[in-house]
């Protein structure tokens, strides 16, 4: 099938070759949105043409093609069955329906307009816009004299002094154009219609006009509203900025008005009067305030005749202007007085002192028992002030804690207390006691110097008795201090004793094979070799044979039979952990033995064997030879060549037979 596109005012044709049975089953309907159009269609009964709408039922089933449509004068076919037409349309089967939609070639549709509000003062101007859409099939070109003019009142200069508004640019099909221009109100008060329509000069008005708007032209009220601060003399006008929490006065006057109101951010702020004043307006909230004078004119229209913005600055942060202790240096347990002052603050505070209000003079404070720094901070609507610090220095005071040399220690919470310089066994728990300390509120025993695990041994209540720590697992000689605090001193050393922590116990393991430390020799392929071990200060042991695990979880001395079989030299190692140091271990070497056999066809021949053991002999057999590699040396015999054939060279307990 080949489809041929068409232009406006032309017809299109399509030849369709199809066969259909002569069955009376089809209905063909053609409908358009306007009259005066014509069309041509083809089907099983041949070519059909008509003007206007068409309906026929009981037609033969088959292919029906709408070949061409001729629009009425001034229209074009804009839509066929809901889509833009591109050529002939063929439908197979019954109930054929073609819906035709036609549009004006020069159609203009009104879209929107702005700026047309009442009232307007006589002779005043106002900027407006009017927007139309080009619904025609052609482009509106500026060279074709498309313009805008009033249609109500018809083609006058009432609103447009020049009478016309030119097309600002060429407008393609289905595009918008906006006319922006000024209108001038008539000089005589009244109500006037405003309605415009496009036209092509010398040709015709272009279809749909704008929506008609009735605009009231009336004498409008005028006036002004002024401000000043109460301390000022000159009245101001326009935008201004005032400090937070200040006040201002306003006054206003008007003409051609029946009533007026002053509004602040849309809220009426004063009496309804054409002229009046408001004094002492509190500016207690930061922000921007739109001040408007709205007056009702003689025509009843309400107009904003004057406006400006008053900005109230945010409050400043409080500032501390004075913070003084008198005196600032005091004797121990005596008092002083404090004075403070601030601006922009609602409250002030000093942690540890009774300062609460925004200011205070010679407020008694104390007594002071230690030198300290105090920080003053004030708060207000503007936030928090920068902190200011002052120090009260305390001199003299109570004596430091003191007392007899009463610090003692004993081991494991029983027995006698150690003498000075006494020794405690390794792993002991130490108990400390002391008493008779004067001028102290608390005491504690300091860490044993150089031993980290004693850190934290402190805070024993005074008088102390029974403060324990341990077990102690660090041998050495240590000094232990009794440290006390009181009104006269903090962390003062009252007494010191020396304590010696004894050495750690020795851990050991003694491994034996058949009661021997080794090496021990067993025949090749032996089994159940007896072993024993003795442990001292051991946590747990494990054994290996040539590095392979043999047994584990051994915690006490004992015996065992190593199952074997043993076919090579084997080192049994026992490794044991202990609580006092690194692991300890012991080992025993088990070697293998066998029989070396040599058969020769020359009896009495002397031969030499070198290896783990050396042999020079005429014997044909060497029993109990140690496992290893041997070298056989045979002396030269005149008339004989030696041919050596080894038998079972890796199995020394087997007799080599039939070997020369």
Q: How many CB atoms lie within 10 A of CB 548?
A: 8
Query: Tokens in use for 178?
Result: 């906006």
Q: How many CB atoms lie within 10 A of CB 69?
A: 24
The predicted structure's pLDDT at residue 375: 94
Q: Are residues 325 and 366 in the same domain?
A: yes
CA distances from 104 to 62, 77, 209, 622 (A): 35, 9, 15, 133
Q: Are residues 423 and 494 in the same domain?
A: yes
The total number of structural domains in the chain stands at 6
* CATH number of the domain enclosing 186: 2.60.40.10
* CATH number of the domain enclosing 417: 2.60.40
Domain that holds residue 548: 508-592
DSSP state of 328: S
Q: Which of 540, 560, 542 is nearest to 552 (CA)?
A: 542
Residue 551 neighbours by CB under 8 Å, 6+ apart: 542, 543, 560
Q: How many CB atoms lie within 10 A of CB 226?
A: 19
Residue pLDDT, tens place only, 515-532? 999 899 888 888 899 999
Give the β-pairing of 548-554 and 540-545. Answer: antiparallel
Q: Are residues 120 and 187 in the same domain?
A: yes
Q: Are residues 270 and 335 in the same domain?
A: no
Q: How many CB atoms lie within 10 A of CB 582?
A: 8
- Distance CA(155)–CA(197), nearest Å, equals 9
Whether 559 is covered by a domain: the verdict is yes
Q: Are residues 527 and 560 in the same domain?
A: yes
Half-sphere exposure for 513 (CA within 13 Å, toward CB): 23
Task: pLDDT band for 414, please (50, 70, 90 cuts).
Answer: low
Whether 544 is covered by a domain: the verdict is yes
- Distance CA(541)–CA(238), nearest Å, equals 98
Q: Are residues 124 and 208 in the same domain?
A: yes
Q: Are residues 120 and 207 in the same domain?
A: yes
Q: Are residues 282 and 328 in the same domain?
A: no
Whether 212 is covered by a domain: the verdict is yes
The CA dihedral of 526, 532, 533, 539, to the nearest 10 degrees, is 90
The predicted structure's pLDDT at residue 447: 58
Whether 565 is covered by a domain: the verdict is yes
DSSP state of 620: S
Query: Tokens in use for 337?
Result: 């007085």
Residue pLDDT, tens place only, 305-354? 899 999 998 888 999 999 999 999 998 889 999 999 999 899 999 998 88
Whether 344 is covered by a domain: the verdict is yes
Q: Are residues 300 and 334 in the same domain?
A: no
Strands lying side by side in the sheet with 508-513 = 508-513, 529-536, 558-562
Strands (E), 555-635: 558-562, 570-578, 581-597, 607-610, 615-617, 621-626, 631-633
Task: pLDDT band for 200, please (50, 70, 90 cuts).
Answer: confident
Q: Are residues 391 and 417 in the same domain?
A: no
Point out the domain boundary residue: 432, 467, 501.
501
Whether 654 is covered by a domain: the verdict is no
Range of weakest confidence among 123-137, 207-221, 228-242: 228-242
Q: Are residues 54 and 155 in the same domain?
A: no
Whether 621 is covered by a domain: the verdict is no
Point out the domain boundary residue: 312, 335, 355.
312
Whether 637 is covered by a domain: the verdict is no
Q: Are residues 131 and 163 in the same domain?
A: yes
Point out the domain boundary residue: 501, 535, 552.
501
- Distance CA(75)–CA(138), nearest Å, equals 11
């Amino acid at each position: 099938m080949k489809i041929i596109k068409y232009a406006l005012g032309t017809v299109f044709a399509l030849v369709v070759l199809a066969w259909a049975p002569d069955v009376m089953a089809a209905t063909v309907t053609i409908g358009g949105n306007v009259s005066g159009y014509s069309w041509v269609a083809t089907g099983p009964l041949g070519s059909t043409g008509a003007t206007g709408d068409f309906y026929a039922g009981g037609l033969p089933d088959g292919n029906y093609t709408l070949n061409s449509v001729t629009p009425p004068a001034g229209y074009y076919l804009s839509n066929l069955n809901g889509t833009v037409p591109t050529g002939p349309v063929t439908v197979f089967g019954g109930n054929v329906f073609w819906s035709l939609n036609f549009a004006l070639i020069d159609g203009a549709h009104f879209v929107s307009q702005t700026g047309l509000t009442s009232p307007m003062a006589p002779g005043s101007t106002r900027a407006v816009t009017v927007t139309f859409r080009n619904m025609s099939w052609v482009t509106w070109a500026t060279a074709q004299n498309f313009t805008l003019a009033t249609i109500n009142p018809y083609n006058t200069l009432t609103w447009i002094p020049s009478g016309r508004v030119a097309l600002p640019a060429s407008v393609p099909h289905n595009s918008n154009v906006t006319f922006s221009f000024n209108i001038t109100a008539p000089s005589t008060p009244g109500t006037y219609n405003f309605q415009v329509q496009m036209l092509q000069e010398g040709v015709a008005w272009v279809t749909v006009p704008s929506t008609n708007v009735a605009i009231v032209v009336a004498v409008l009220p005028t006036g002004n509203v002024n401000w000043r601060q109460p301390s000022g003399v000159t009245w101001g006008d326009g935008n201004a900025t005032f400090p937070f929490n200040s006040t201002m006065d306003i006054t206003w006057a008007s003409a051609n008005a029946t009533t007026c109101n002053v509004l602040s951010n849309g809220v009426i702020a004063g009496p309804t009067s054409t002229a009046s004043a408001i004094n002492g307006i509190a500016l207690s909230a930061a922000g921007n305030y739109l001040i408007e004078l709205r007056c009702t004119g003689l025509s009843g229209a309400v107009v904003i005749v004057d406006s400006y913005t008053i900005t109230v600055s945010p409050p400043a942060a409080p500032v501390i202007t004075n913070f003084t202790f008198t005196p600032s240096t005091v004797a121990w347990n005596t008092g002083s007085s404090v004075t403070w002052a601030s601006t922009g603050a609602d409250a002030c505070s000093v942690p540890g002192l009774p300062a609460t209000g925004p200011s205070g003079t010679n407020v008694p404070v104390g007594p002071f028992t230690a030198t300290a720094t105090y920080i003053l901070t004030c708060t207000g609507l503007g936030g928090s002030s920068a902190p200011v610090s002052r120090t009260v220095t305390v001199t003299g005071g109570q004596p430091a804690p003191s007392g007899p040399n009463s610090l003692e220690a004993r081991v494991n919470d029983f027995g006698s207390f150690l003498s000075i310089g006494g020794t405690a066994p390794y792993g002991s728990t130490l108990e400390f006691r002391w008493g008779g300390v004067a001028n102290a509120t608390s005491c504690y025993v300091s860490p044993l110097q150089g031993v980290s695990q004693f850190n934290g041994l402190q805070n024993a209540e005074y008088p102390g008795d029974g403060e324990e720590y341990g077990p102690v697992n660090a041998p050495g000689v240590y000094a232990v201090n009794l440290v006390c605090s009181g009104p006269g001193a903090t962390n003062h050393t009252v007494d010191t004793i020396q304590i010696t922590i004894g050495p750690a116990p020795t851990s050991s393991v003694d491994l034996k094979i058949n009661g021997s430390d080794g090496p021990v020799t067993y025949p090749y392929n032996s089994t159940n070799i007896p072993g024993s071990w003795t442990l001292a200060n051991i946590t747990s042991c494990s054994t290996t044979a040539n590095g392979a695990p043999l047994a584990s979880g051994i915690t006490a001395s004992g015996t065992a039979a190593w199952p074997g079989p043993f076919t090579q030299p084997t080192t049994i190692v026992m490794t044991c952990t202990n609580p006092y140091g690194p692991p300890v271990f012991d080992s025993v070497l088990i070697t293998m033995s066998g029989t070396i056999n040599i058969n020769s066809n020359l009896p009495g021949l002397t031969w030499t064997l070198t290896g783990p053991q050396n042999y020079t002999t005429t014997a044909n057999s060497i029993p109990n030879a140690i496992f290893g590699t041997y070298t056989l040396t045979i002396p030269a015999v005149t008339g004989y060549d030696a041919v050596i054939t080894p038998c079972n060279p890796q199995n020394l307990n087997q007799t080599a037979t039939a070997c020369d």
